[in-house]
Amino acid sequence: MKTLTQKDRIIRHLNDKGSITALEAMKEYGIMRLTSRICELKDEGYNIRSEFVSSKNRYNEPVSFSKYSLV
């Protein structure tokens, strides 16, 4: 059985769930540099959209982060 690469896991996640954030990538797959993997996937021809999202952290402070999805 083939071991999935980080990029394989990201593409599978995007296909299954629609989007991924750095926090999801770290928690679910141990991927620490999601943006780097996304850039590599884009270079390989994947059409991935980046959306800047605003939210609140656990201290109710405003935070912003990128959310990636396949186009």
What is the rounded CA–CA span in Å between residue 30 and residue 4?
13
Point out which residues pair with 67 in neighbouring strands.
Answer: 21, 51
Domain containing 65 equals 6-70
What is the rounded CA–CA span in Å between residue 30 and residue 56?
23
How would you classify residue 7: left for phi > 0, otherwise alpha for psi between -120 and 50, otherwise beta?
alpha
pTM > 0.85: yes
Do the domain assignments include residue 1? no
Q: What is the residue-level pLDDT of the chain in tens, covering all 71 positions? A: 789 999 999 999 999 999 999 999 999 999 999 999 999 999 999 999 999 999 999 999 999 999 999 99
Total domains present in the chain? 1
The tokens of 35 are what? 């943006």
**The CATH number of the domain where 50 resides is what?**
1.10.10
